[in-house]
Amino acid sequence: MMRMRRFAGLLLLAAALPAAAQSAYRWVDKDGHVQYSDQPPPQAVKKFEERNVQPNRGNTQLPFATRKAAGEFPVTLYVGKDCDKACDEARALLGKRGVPFTEARLESADDVSTFKKRFGQDPFVPSLGVGKEMEAGFAAQPWNSLLDKAGYPAGKR
């Protein structure tokens, strides 16, 4: 009985593997129409494209407005090694609003130089980059205003 369950589990796992990556085919038929399929084209078709299609790994669980804002105005939280409580409060604000963000540590001279080139000023941590806009130092009201302006939903404030 136990052996049968194990076999059934392995069989289900093997069946799920093809769903991880599939091929998609594109070709032009004899009438000049472009055809797309997950099945190979007929043998009469000599020229076709085969693409390995991966499942969408984006966070489709986020609300549409958040995904849209993140696509147009990505958020970066700039932190440093001496940024404890303020950085924690900054992360909490972004988490409470459900804002996806990248965290960048400003530790090396190259990090500081890159920040200066992007924003035209010396870094101050934490800082919030939203698209090309930046707010230095943590203050909830200006950070929320910057996120609102970019179209991020308000979340629970």
Q: Please give the torsion angle defined by the CA atoms of residues 65, 70, 73 and 75, in that order, rounded to the nearest 10 degrees.
A: 130
pLDDT of residue 62: 85
Cβ contact 66:147 at 8 Å: no
* Cα dihedral sign, 112-115-119-120: positive
Query: Which pLDDT band holds residue 54 (cuts at 50, 70, 90)?
Result: low
pLDDT of residue 140: 96
Q: 3-state DSSP call for residue 43?
A: coil
Query: How does strand 75-79 pair with strand 101-105?
Result: parallel
Whole-model pTM? 0.61
User: What tokens were used for 118?
Assistant: 């992007």
pLDDT in tens, 22-32: 677 776 778 87
Span 65-76, average pLDDT: 93
DSSP string, 54-81: PPP-S-TTS-HHHHHHHHHS-EEEEE-T
- The ranges assigned to domains in the chain are 22-55, 64-150
Q: Is residue 3's pLDDT more than 90?
A: no
Longest Cα–Cα distance of the chain, Å, equals 69
pLDDT in tens, 100-122: 999 999 988 988 998 999 889 99
Task: Give the span between the Cα atoms of 80 and 16, in whole angstroms.
Answer: 43
Task: Give the span between the Cα atoms of 111 and 107, in whole angstroms.
Answer: 6
Q: Please give the torsion angle defined by the CA atoms of residues 137, 91, 130 and 63, in that order, rounded to the nearest 10 degrees.
A: -150
CATH topology of domain 64-150: Glutaredoxin (3.40.30)
Q: How many CB atoms lie within 10 A of CB 99?
A: 22
